[in-house]
Chain A
Amino acid sequence: MNQAQMNIRVGVFFIIGIALLWITFQALHEGKFNAKDGYEIIAPFQSVRELKSGNEVRMAGVPVGTVKAVRLANGRAEAVLSIKKDITLARDTVATIATSGLIGSNYIALEFGSAASGNLAPGDSLRTREVPDFNKMMSDLGDLGTDIKAAVAKIGSAFGDNPDGSPGLISNLNSVVSENRAGLASTIGNLNEITTKIRAGEGTLAKLINDPAAYDQLLAAVTEIKNAATEAKNFIGETQSIIADVKSGRGAVGALIYDETTAQNLKIAVKNITDITNKMNNDESSFGQLITSDALVRDAKATLRKVDRAMDGFADSGPITAVGVLANGLF
């Protein structure tokens, strides 16, 4: 093996190795090597829980960056996110810590914001929302279990006698039952009797229950009542519409009630009528005389007689006069 061959082989060996190293480092997503390809956004949380640097940042499930660091600042936890350069985030984007699978790693889930709110600049803070921690949920569940246990114990002790020796619920119930045994027995006996009667078909209740005719009658009665009610409803509806018309000033009655000028006119008209009738009653006026005095009637009668006579005269002399006039004119 000569020197050149040896060099070539060693060269190939190292180039393969370095290429593999480079590819692997590039493939492993971590803030360090991709930092220059993105911009930083701060996401403050009450607790970042299991979040670690190198975890993914996903928007609607699509990876858009990585968690670059997790640190404490201003009394709360902060996750520094490295977001890809070609991704713009709206100002009201909300970040939550989500878990992929039951034992999967955490990632930051971003929800779409509205484009109208503007874009986040590098170094800005995101709005975040806390989601209940699985551990917290479990401890809450544990508390709930304790509560249930206490409640069940209380119910149990309520059934038993009280610690101070006074009788508990069950004892009370027992004593009530034993004291009123006779009364209860007679009540139940009465009930028995009543039900027997009902079954046998005696009494109104029994008829109601057992007799189909009674049921039919009842049904008919109910139907009629229903019809009556429907009619009453229609009537009331119509009345309501009329009242509404009146209220809105439509129609004669409406105008009468709600229109001021009508009332005014009516008043004036009534006054005028009063005046006229007053004058009529008065003898001095011509109309009054016409109505009240009989002199006029007599005068009229005389005049009519005269006219009658005159007309008779006309009727006799009419043709001659006409000829005379004609002759006078010609000759």
Chain B
Amino acid sequence: MNRISTIFDWLGGAVVMAFRAFRMLPEAPRIMKRTIEQALHGGYLSLPIVSILSFFIGAVLALQAGYALQDFGAKQLIGTLVGEALVRELGPVFVAILVAGRVASAVTAELASMRVYQEVDALVTMNIPPERFLVLPRLLAALCYMPVLTMIGIIIGWIGGAVVCNYVDFIGIAPAEYFQSVKQYLTTTKLLHGLIKAEIFGFVVILIACNTGLRTRGGPREIGFAVTDSVVYSLMAILSLDFFITKALGG
């Protein structure tokens, strides 16, 4: 019973925090500088890891598809498979997982330590709502950089697939043919759905991170727990939401 009420308390706190943050939206120009800083940390500095990860996801996907489709003599569909998989599923999910691991953990650690060392209390005392000063810049930045990061990830994944298709002997598909088959079944609607998914993931992950961080009670030990919780909840949220969003968007 206590556990269940804790879960609802946690969920309700997150929703209330999101509403409070977005009620401050008219004051966005005042937090511009902080938003840009968050975009730099979350977006620009995530580029190397997103690139490397996406490249190898695309490459492995193409290789596996090559092994699997070889038996059916349908190797020309490798591009279609890699393209669709990255746009629909792997692009948004992997970028969200990366953001959860790289950005959300940092956010949770920062906010948790601010809470533990009573900096948040100081903000409240100075009549600066932490939702505006700490949460909103991070949420806005996430909403901005998630689609961009996802798009870059998808394209680098495609390129990884193209490299594998070109240089692995038994596949041997020229990049032009590969990209033609990538294009063949892909529609802008599918791409749009992928980006919407990424947007929702980004929002949820950063919201979970902020909420977990700001709800931390105790000392340095709790900061560590909070970071762990934040990443675990984020991954759970990403993978469970993924199903429902995909179902709702209907492909």
Residues of A participating in the B interface, judged by any CB pair closer than 8 Å: 3, 6-7, 9-10, 12-14, 16-18, 20-21, 24-25, 27-30, 32-33, 54, 103, 105
Q: Which residue of A lies closest to B186 (CB)?
A: A28
Q: Which of A3, A24, A54, A105 contacts B151 (CB 8 A)?
A: A24
Q: Is B148 an interface residue (CB 8 A)?
A: yes
Additional pairs, 19, CB under 8 Å, beyond known A13-B148, A28-B183, A28-B191: A6-B40, A9-B40, A13-B39, A13-B47, A13-B145, A14-B144, A14-B148, A16-B148, A17-B149, A17-B152, A21-B147, A24-B151, A25-B188, A25-B191, A27-B183, A28-B187, A29-B183, A32-B188, A54-B187
CA distance A16 to B46 in the complex (A): 14
Known: A6-B37, A10-B43. A20 touches B155 (CB 8 A): yes
Instruction: Annotate B168-191 by CB proximity to A: 1 below 8 A, 0 otherwise.
Output: 000000000000000111111101
Q: Tell me which residues across on chain A come within 8 A of B39, comparing CB atoms.
A: 10, 13-14
Instruction: Determine how close the nearest CB of chain B comes to the CB of A61; give it in whole angstroms.
Output: 14
User: Chain A binding site: helix, strand, loop or mixed by DSSP?
Assistant: helix
Can you list 26 contacts pairing A with B, beta carbon distance less than 8 Å? A6-B36, A7-B36, A9-B40, A13-B39, A13-B145, A13-B148, A14-B43, A14-B144, A16-B148, A16-B152, A17-B145, A17-B147, A17-B148, A17-B152, A20-B152, A21-B147, A21-B151, A21-B195, A24-B155, A25-B191, A27-B183, A30-B187, A30-B188, A30-B189, A105-B184, A105-B185
CA distance A135 to B198 in the complex (A): 40
Q: Which residue of A lies closest to B33 (CB)?
A: A3
Q: Is B74 an interface residue (CB 8 A)?
A: yes
Q: Tell me which residues across on chain B come within 8 A of A28, comparing CB atoms.
A: 183, 186-188, 191
Q: Is the CB of B43 within 8 A of A13?
A: yes
Q: Is B67 an interface residue (CB 8 A)?
A: no
Q: Is B44 an interface residue (CB 8 A)?
A: yes
Q: Which residue of A lies closest to B77 (CB)?
A: A103
CB contacts under 8 Å to A, within B25-55, are: 33, 36-37, 39-40, 43-44, 47
